[in-house]
């Protein structure tokens, strides 16, 4: 298991479009991906779970990956979040 803390930088938070881009990018990985946000643990390969978490701009999160390609998956997930997911 590997993890990293980061922040949501999107001005509108993790709404539908960035959530869809995020899920599309990490779904091909074999690792399980979860995000810890406050007291919530979110299955990160689910658009609905990401949107339901109501992660706003500036939200501090922890991305956790566990599986055979966990480091590559974590690097991709964090890079996407820190890039603003195209916004």
State the catalytic residue, choosing from 4, 15, 36, 56: 15
Q: Where are the beta strands (DSSP E) in the chain?
A: 2-7, 32-37, 40-43, 60-66
Report the Cα–Cα distance between both ends of the chain, in Å, rounded.
29
5 counts as catalytic: no
User: 46-80: string of b/e by CB count within 10 Å (b at 16+)?
Assistant: ebebbbebebeeebebebbbeeeebeebbebbbeb
Point out the residues that are catalytic.
15
């Amino acid at each position: 298991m590997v993890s990293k803390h980061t922040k949501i930088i999107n001005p509108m938070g993790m709404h539908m479009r960035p959530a869809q881009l995020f899920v599309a990018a990490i779904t091909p990985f074999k690792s399980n991906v979860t995000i810890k946000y406050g007291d919530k643990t979110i299955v990160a390969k689910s658009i609905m779970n990401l949107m339901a978490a109501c992660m706003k701009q500036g939200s501090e999160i922890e991305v956790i990956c566990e599986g055979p390609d966990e480091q590559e998956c974590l690097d991709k997930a964090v890079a996407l979040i820190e890039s603003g997911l195209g916004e």
